Chains A and B, each alone.
Chain A
Amino acid sequence: MAKTKIDLRQFNILIENASKRARLNASRSIASSLKNKILSLISKGISPIEGNGRFKSYKPSTKKRKRYPDTVKSDFPDKRRRPVNLELSGKFLRALKVFPKSLNIITFGFFSEYGETLELGHREGANTQAKRPIIPDFSKGEALAKSIQADILKSLKQAMENELKRSR
């Protein structure tokens, strides 16, 4: 699930009758805060998918077997066991894109081959790593973290309030 879409129609009931301008402002604001919030949660080791909580920790190295992140110490000396933030070089998370596709749709996810491959690896737990999906698969009942949903509602309410103020 390297990329997905949010159908904002379910949230847009609140501003169904508001002007196109309010909806445009809302979708821009949501897109921007969505990206920030997803990256902010991941940086603290928290999954942006509802109910997943904290990312599972890295398995410890043993005498017989070195495990990640100990295996990459020579190339990435600053990488630590905590937080589990899916960040090594930073290239993967920089590949996350979020943009309003239309008034009702925001698209977000990984659109490069590199990003798609790594997202799939995290989602499926490639190479015996723990599963750490970050893009919700709405078709399987996954949802964005509640705090992100709350932010979306907040942005919509804000857009509505701004529109009301403007029309007074």
Chain B
Amino acid sequence: MKTYKFDPLKELNIDIPKSNRKEALEAAATYLKEAVLDYIGEGKSPVSGFGKFPGYTKEYKSEKGASSSSSAVNLELSGEMLDALSVKVTGSKLELGVFGGDELLGKAEGNNLGTYGQPNPIPGKVRRFIPLDGENLKRDILRNMKTILEEYGED
């Protein structure tokens, strides 16, 4: 399961003094995690070009209903996968991903690529919550991130 790395200052074209940069990136990372979880909690993809997550099968819906009161396709059954979702600051980049053991990574990849243990994606079952190479986060997320980063723009 690949993580998504990007340089927010470069992509959003923001200049932040070196002395504020670390703090700014940490604030952006905190926001990004919240925003991604918020989108997922509503059953929506945080990735540009993807809308609502496709629905669960009848069988899975009934299994999920035993442990979750949410009717949204929120990628939360035991909650372990989303508990392991994190955003790390690595150098000048933010790294969004699921950080955990093979089982969690498998679950994350299954949802993100729509494979669910199969060699190829199952049509209509992609629940993209971490962008792949060449993809972007939703504009609304980037806009808010820009607002947050701009707060660190001056010494």
Contacts and interface: CB of A to CB of B under 8 A. Distances in A.
Whether both chains belong to one complex is answered with yes
Interface of A: 40-41, 43-46, 50-51, 53-54, 57, 78-85, 145-147, 149-150, 153-154
B31 A83 contact: no
Contacts of A154: 144, 147
Given A46-B41, A146-B27, A82 B34 contact: no
Interface residues of B, number: 26
Looking at chain B's contact residues, is the secondary structure mostly helix, strand, loop, or mixed?
Answer: helix
Contacts of B147: 150, 153-154
Contacts of A53: 33-34, 37
B38 interface: yes
Contact of B68 (A43, A50, A82): A82
Contacts of A80: 65-69
Interface of B: 27, 30-31, 33-35, 37-38, 41-42, 65-70, 74, 76-79, 82-83, 144, 147-148
B34 A147 contact: yes
Contacts, number: 76
B69 A147 contact: no
